[in-house]
Amino acid sequence: MKKLLISFCLTLASNFAQAALPESVAVALKEAGIPESGTAVYVQPVGGRHSQLSLNANKPMNPASVMKLVTTYAALDLLKPTFRWKTEVYRDAVMEGGILHGNLIIKGYGDPSFKADEFRRLLGSLRQQGLKKITGDLIIDKSYFATSTGHHKVFDSEKWRSYNALPSAFLVNGRHTSFKFTVHEGKVNILQEVELPEVQIVNNMTLAKNGCGSWRNRLTYDVNASKTKATVTFGGKFSSRCGKRYLELSLFDDEHYAYFMFRSLWRQLGGVFNGKLRSQTKMPLQAVKLVVQGSQPLANIVRDTNKWSNNVMARQILLTVAANYHNKPASEVRGMLAVKLWMANNGRNADNWVIENGSGLSRTERVTAKGLGEMLLDAYDGPLMSELMSSLPVLSLDGTLSRRLRKKAVSGRAHIKTGSIKGVRAIAGYVLDAKNRRNVVVMIVNHAKASSSRKAQDALIEWVYNRP
């Protein structure tokens, strides 16, 4: 009886403590002008039976990019860490003497990491088979994903920014052009990382004499683009103290970007091609497979997705889950159904969750802090713990957290995914406290002043680190 009374009192005390935020967190929120009603918090020690801190934890909130945790963990479990995407190349006519008397067909299966180097390797395999000249056209088959997937509206007014790139069954380089900014001999230089002749740069930038600071705020750009050509005019100032800086812009649709990249790489490899771009949704009966190339394993791609919060990669992953667990072609709705079924099969109630595209670049996606925290607890006790945790940015060391809480005691002791869109700031992951106890931490802020909540989030991380 005495033990039961003690247990009851401890539980009651624990529940009472959960009703109030730590003073440092509450003060930081108040200073930022953010009410606690716009904040959800959930903290629970790994292996613990009860949460140590819970505020609005069952309230559906917009998680921004923290949603990628759900998408990537579901993919790791459903597809397995060793899953690889494939990209296939076919011919639809006779090839003799190094000449293809017809069209070259590339069929994509949604590889999120198909960059210029992978494209070069794929085309190099064709050259090794003796193919040199293609008399027909380049045909791109994107039928693995639903065509509507690539026609959704962009997220915001920054339509040229790479985060607004839409998914595609054949996506090269995330279809973005990366511009590198440097200073040489007193002048600002701007170069394409992968040069395409279809992109022209007009450099009107001048040298700044002060420090680097928020360099992008001092940069302006104007894009004049058609399907076949883009001119980007840069203005503003850039400091030599910035070293190298990069800006990624999506200037073309997925098919034309892939076509331009193909022409450039094929010619670099000594190939001959003067054909046009075409698309198809059904493979010709006479098509002959020439090359199949595999991607990196899913575990590697999940790491790139979460460390750098890559939106289009997360969307590609969700669509791949849909393609493997529902009838093709894959769509975001089918991806949502697959993830919700996965959650239900694992005993998680996600009835009040909303999954739109799996990346968090959404105004409609919703999760609960408690549900997300419990998912992280399950993941820690499961066989995929190492793959998921290693994909998260390490506090103050890499990814989106490389500059956060530096020179603090908790530095290097937390693996946390961040989320950020207008009106939303979120963190979720694991914090190893001063006594080497692992804790799951979730904090989501949905408020007009959410951008000012970083101090409160940092205060929560430090409170968990120092918890008694």
pLDDT (tens digit per residue) in 62-115:
999 999 999 999 999 999 999 999 999 999 999 999 999 999 999 999 999 999
Single-letter amino acid, residue 40? A
The pLDDT of 231-247, averaged and rounded, is 96
Inform me whether the pLDDT recorded for 182 exceeds 70.
yes
Non-local (6+) Cβ contacts of 128 within 8 A are: none
The whole-number pLDDT of residue 16 equals 41
The pLDDT of 435-462, averaged and rounded, is 98
Environment class of 46 (CB within 10 Å of its CB; exposed 0-12, middle 13-18, buried 19+): middle
Single-letter amino acid, residue 289? K
In the structure, what pLDDT confidence band is assigned to residue 15 with cuts at 50, 70 and 90? very low
Is the Cα dihedral 254, 259, 264, 269 positive or negative? positive
Using CA atoms, how far apart are residues 64 and 314, in angstroms rounded to an integer? 12
The pLDDT of 387-407, averaged and rounded, is 97
Using CA atoms, how far apart are residues 334 and 341, in angstroms rounded to an integer? 11
In the structure, what pLDDT confidence band is assigned to residue 122 with cuts at 50, 70 and 90? very high
Phi first, then psi, for residue 249 (nearest 5°) are -125, 140
In the structure, what pLDDT confidence band is assigned to residue 156 with cuts at 50, 70 and 90? confident
Using CA atoms, how far apart are residues 167 and 311, in angstroms rounded to an integer? 9
Contact between residue 99 and residue 87 where contact means Cβ atoms under 8 Å apart: no
Phi first, then psi, for residue 209 (nearest 5°) are -95, -15
Q: Among 4-13, 233-242, 248-257, 434-443, whose mean pLDDT is lowest?
A: 4-13
DSSP state of 161: B
Residue 360 in tokens: 């968090």
The whole-number pLDDT of residue 19 equals 54
The pLDDT of 10-30, averaged and rounded, is 72
Using CA atoms, how far apart are residues 136 and 133, in angstroms rounded to an integer? 9
The pLDDT of 277-293, averaged and rounded, is 95
Non-local (6+) Cβ contacts of 399 within 8 A are: 306, 307, 308, 309, 392, 393
Residue 432 in tokens: 């190893």
pLDDT per position as a tens digit, 311-346 = 999 999 999 999 999 878 999 999 999 999 999 999
The pLDDT of 124-138, averaged and rounded, is 98
Contact between residue 317 and residue 84 where contact means Cβ atoms under 8 Å apart: no
The whole-number pLDDT of residue 147 equals 78
Contact between residue 64 and residue 424 where contact means Cβ atoms under 8 Å apart: yes
More confident: 321 or 147 = 321
Single-letter amino acid, residue 227? K
Instruction: Compute the chain's Rg from CA coordinates.
Output: 25
The pLDDT of 142-168, averaged and rounded, is 82
The whole-number pLDDT of residue 152 equals 54
The whole-number pLDDT of residue 468 equals 78
Percent of the chain with pLDDT over 90: 89
Inform me whether the pLDDT recorded for 384 exceeds 80.
yes
SS3 state at 130 = coil
SS3 state at 119 = helix
Inform me whether the pLDDT recorded for 27 exceeds 90.
yes
Upstream peptide bond of 329 is cis (omega within 30 degrees of 0): yes
Percent of the chain with pLDDT over 70: 95
SS3 state at 293 = strand
Residue 389 in tokens: 């945790």
Which domains does the chain show, CATH number per domain? 19-82+299-465 (3.40.710.10), 86-154+164-171+253-294 (3.50.80.20), 177-249 (no CATH)
Helix-helix angle 23-32:454-465, to 10 degrees: 180
Give me the chain's average pLDDT, please. 94
Neighbours of 399 (CB within 10 A): 21
Residue 84 in tokens: 């690889």
Inform me whether the pLDDT recorded for 208 exceeds 50.
yes
